[in-house]
Amino acid sequence: MRDSRNIIILTIVCIFIFFYGLGNMALTDPDETFYAETAKEMLKANEWITPLIFGKPQFEKPILYYWLVELSFKFFGVNEFAARFPSALFGIIGCLAIYFIGRILFSSLSGLIASLFTATCTQYIIITRACVTDVVLTAFITLCFLFFLLGLEKENKLFYIISAVMAALAVLTKGPIGVFIPAVIIGLYMIFTRQWEAFKKIPFILSILVFLAISLPWYIIVFKLHGSAFTSEFFGLHNIIRFLEPEHRIGSSPFFYIPAILGGFLPWTPFLIFGTWYMVKSEVGESAIKAPRLFLALWFFFIFLFFSASSTKLVTYVFPLFPVLSIVIGRFWERFLENDQDIHLRRLMNYSYVLFALVCVLAFVGGYFVIQTVYPQVLKGALIASVFFIAFAGISIVLYVRKKFLVSFYILILSGAISIVPIVAFVLPVIEEFETSKAISYKLKELAGKDEAIGGECDHRRGIAFYSDRVNVADIHSYNDLISFLSSEKRVWGVIQKKHYQQIKENKPELVSEPLFEAGDYIIISNESAEVR
């Protein structure tokens, strides 16, 4: 009965946060439009094996996420909601998996608190409401751990096999990392806890066969179709080379992921800090807690250290460790709610709330100046969203002071959930102009004839293809490519940044028209003086 109630509460909260206004904002460049355009081209070509973009095969990621988006397009139509639907759905699945892991390791209350904090932390909301692979990968890895733990708890071989299925689906989502991460963590856990009898009961051969039967067929088929073009791009470039050589300028510091994690878990970071302190220091002597603590530590540190060692770093790479952070907070809150007279626990929770209040103030002040500098147009909407959040957060603090601890917790969650309303209504519409190519692509579609070439710089090229319904979008990111494109004897149309327009206007004014349309930092230009139709 308790499980049913908790699952209903969690599902309702997740549906509201992840689906409210999900399709209101255009797809952002370059990542969302990359996956959406690939699925759109595959759907149009009735292609279910080879990912396509700009009419050509691309092998950046395996096939499963494209299948999910492609199926969503078939069901809902080709639109923003459909593109993001798989991520939102798997965001809910991931939260439910966290709930059950928290219940297995600690208690139902711990699992519920953990999953609610997950659903309302900044990075989980952003990733779950985006057309990207990370939340699907994280959900499958979390499910892999869940069914492994169920196998240990219930001594049921079926759960181990399902765990292998989840690992196989993770491999079909993002490659070898989908099995490498859970296999190493589970292996280390079994070795360190010396559960040799349980280890012997795992149906390794059957699990491996099931894993291979699910994960290998697509890789074999696509290799037969494309040979070394597939292996060199997918395994060579996007797995090995990315680990050994930096793809982006950011991420050179070995400490890159520390602020990324602390910032990504806002506004609940203060509870994470003191919850971690409590679990490390206060529960170290409790034998019943040692195995769960070890499992969580291995889960966190292996992912953190592995991706910290990688030369290419992105904030989303460590997304699969966010469930650990939530479970740590869940345990901290559970222990506090059940032992609120414990002086040590009360002191740590007091510190958490004080730091939480301080973070709210600093975030409000700092966010004001950052937004004023970077996105002044979004300032009004951000202030409205901040007022919503701070009002509910303030109520939570008051209730905490009055010792209404459980109600205080639920108001905290409500503060995170309700803030999605003003963000969708006032913030996202402004950001759309600067981070998407929808408006400029629609205008380009209106201006350019069907036989006239169009081009775009790399960040907007995918979005231009998606929103203009044109597959053959030329890459004019480099200066030489832009010059060559505009030197065509036929009329061509391009979308470039304003700063690049000024550069070519100074050096080759005879090649380029005056700006014909402007959206954010991008403009439409042509190679002859054409009036807007």
Task: Kindly indicate the confidence band of residue 533, based on its pLDDT and cuts at 50, 70 and 90.
Answer: very low
| Residues in the chain, overall count | 533
Residue partners of 340: CB distance under 8 A and separation at least 6: 346, 403, 405
Position 341 in a domain: no
**Which of these ranges, 21-30, 173-182, 368-377, 502-511, has the smallest mean pLDDT?**
368-377
Domain membership flag for residue 426: no
Write down which residue in 217, 252, 287 finishes a domain.
252
- Say what the pLDDT of residue 531 is: 44
pLDDT, mean over the chain: 90
Amino acid identity of residue 529, one-letter, is S
Residue 379 has a pLDDT of: 85
Instruction: Provide CB contacts within 8 A for 460, sequence distance 6+.
Output: 29, 30, 437, 440, 495, 522
Q: Is pLDDT at 532 greater than 50 in this prediction? A: no
Note the pLDDT of residue 395. Answer: 95
> Domain ends where: 209, 226, 252?
252
**Does 529 score more than 60 pLDDT?**
no
Identify whether 267 is preceded by a cis peptide bond (ω within 30 of 0). Answer: yes
Structure confidence by residue, pLDDT tens digits, 77-117? 999 999 999 999 999 999 999 999 999 999 999 999 999 99
Of 491, 529, 497, 492, residue with least CA distance to 513: 529
Residue 62 region by backbone torsions, left for phi larger than 0, else alpha for psi between -120 and 50, else beta? beta
pLDDT band for position 228 (cuts 50, 70, 90) = confident
Neighbours of 52 (CB within 10 A): 20
User: Looking at the 3D structure of the chain, how many domains does it have?
Assistant: 2
Domain for residue 417, yes or no? Answer: no
pTM > 0.75: yes or no: yes
pLDDT tens sequence across 397-412:
999 999 999 999 999 9
* Residue that wins the pLDDT comparison between 381 and 182: 182
Q: Report the largest interatomic distance among the alpha carbons of the chain, rounded to a whole angstrom.
A: 81
Residue 121 domain-assigned (yes or no): yes
β partners of residue 66: none
Higher pLDDT, 181 or 363: 181
Q: Is the confidence at residue 530, as pLDDT, over 50?
A: no
Residue 320 resides in a domain: no
Residue 288 banded pLDDT, cuts 50, 70, 90: very low
**C-alpha distances out from residue 95 to 74, 130, 142, 208, 382, Å:** 26, 16, 9, 27, 27
- Region 138-164: what's the mean pLDDT? 96
Percent of the chain with pLDDT over 90: 67
Lowest mean pLDDT among 270-274, 278-282, 336-340: 278-282
Q: Span 475-487, mean pLDDT? A: 89
Residue 235 has pLDDT above 50, yes or no: yes
Q: For residues 135 and 91, is the Cβ–Cβ distance under 8 A?
A: yes
Of the three residues 230, 252, 274, the one that is the final residue of a domain is 252
Q: What tokens were used for 453?
A: 């070439």
- Whose tokens are 């009419």? That residue is 55
Q: Residue 451 sits in which domain range? A: 438-526
Query: pLDDT tens digits, residue range 172-222?
Result: 999 999 999 999 999 999 999 888 888 889 999 999 999 999 999 999 999
Position 478 confidence tier, pLDDT thresholds 50, 70, 90? confident
Q: Please give the full DSSP string across 460-526, using - where no structure is assigned.
A: HHHHHHHHHT-S-EEE--SHHHHHHHHT-SS-EEEEEEHHHHHHHHHH-GGG-----EEETTEEEEE
Give the model confidence (pLDDT) of 22-73 as tens digits: 999 999 998 999 999 999 999 999 999 999 999 999 999 999 999 999 999 9
Residue 430 lies in a domain: no
Radius of gyration of the chain (CA): 25
Q: DSSP secondary-structure letter at 436?
A: B
Does residue 246 lie in a domain region?
Answer: yes
Query: Residue 34 domain-assigned?
Result: yes
Amino acid found at 67: W
Q: What is the mean pLDDT of residues 516-528?
A: 87
Q: What is the pLDDT of residues 483-499, one digit of tens each?
A: 999 988 889 999 998 88
3-state helix, strand, coil in the chain (%, to 5): 75, 5, 20
Q: pLDDT tens, 421-445?
A: 999 998 898 888 888 999 999 999 8
- Pick from 138, 147, 153, 152: nearest CA to 190: 152
329-362 pLDDT, tens digit each = 999 999 999 987 888 899 999 999 999 999 988 8
DSSP state of 455: E
The answer to whether the CB of 411 falls within 8 A of the CB of 399 is yes
Q: What's the confidence (pLDDT) of residue 410?
A: 95
Asked if the model's pLDDT at residue 371 lies above 90, the reply is no
